[in-house]
Amino acid sequence: MKAGRTAFLDVIYRFLLILALCLVFIFAGGTVYSILRNDPPPVQGKPDQHNIHINANDQIFSGIGRLRLPVSGSHAATAILSISFPYVPEDRPFSEELAARIGNFRTIAGEYFLSFELAEIKRKGEEEIKIELLDRFNNILRLGKIEILYFNDFMIIE
């Protein structure tokens, strides 16, 4: 009786061992395939609306984070937005400047929304706000320029 049970456990052990080896080879093969394939990484963000070319080497800078900014006026309105933009990470000096300016970008966005009444913000709309913030951001940059801004989130809560 023990011999039959041992033989059965031996068959299960070998089956599981072969299954584990197959999975290891599948994962290793997939990894090697993905390395050798050499496709450019996908660029995240909204589609390009201003015919500005985004290179395959560009990445999306989203270090500014999600902002909750009060809007000027008698209403207790808040603008909620997440700002991002493409940049070339190989441009080390510009990348370092962007990282160093995160606080400035947040301050500029906050001052922008405080400088307009709620009705003006609504009238301007998302595209005009992007253009005006882009100009203000680029005014403080010395080592490069941002070509386009994306709002991953944009809403006004009254």
Q: Residue 48: what pLDDT?
A: 44
pLDDT digits (tens, 9 = 90+) for 54-93: 565 678 888 898 999 888 875 678 889 999 999 988 899 9
One domain for residues 21 and 80: no
Q: Residue 41: what pLDDT?
A: 45
**Assigned domain for 8 exists:** yes
125: left (phi over 0), alpha (psi -120 to 50) or beta: left
User: pTM for the full model?
Assistant: 0.62
Q: Work out whether strand 150-157 and strand 78-87 pair parallel, antiparallel, or are unpaired.
A: antiparallel
**What CATH number does the domain containing 83 carry?**
3.30.479
Domain containing 29 equals: 1-39
Which residue type occupies 126? Answer: E
CB atoms within 10 A of CB 115: 11
CB atoms within 10 A of CB 99: 10
**Assigned domain for 46 exists:** no
Q: How many domains does the chain have?
A: 2
One domain for residues 68 and 145: yes
Q: Residue 1: what pLDDT?
A: 58
**Assigned domain for 54 exists:** no
pLDDT beneath 50, residues of the chain: 40-52
One domain for residues 16 and 63: no
Q: Residue 49: what pLDDT?
A: 45
Give the Cα separation of 67 and 32 in Å (integer). Answer: 41
Q: Residue 134: what pLDDT?
A: 94
**Assigned domain for 76 exists:** yes
Which residue do the tokens 């008698």 mark? 74
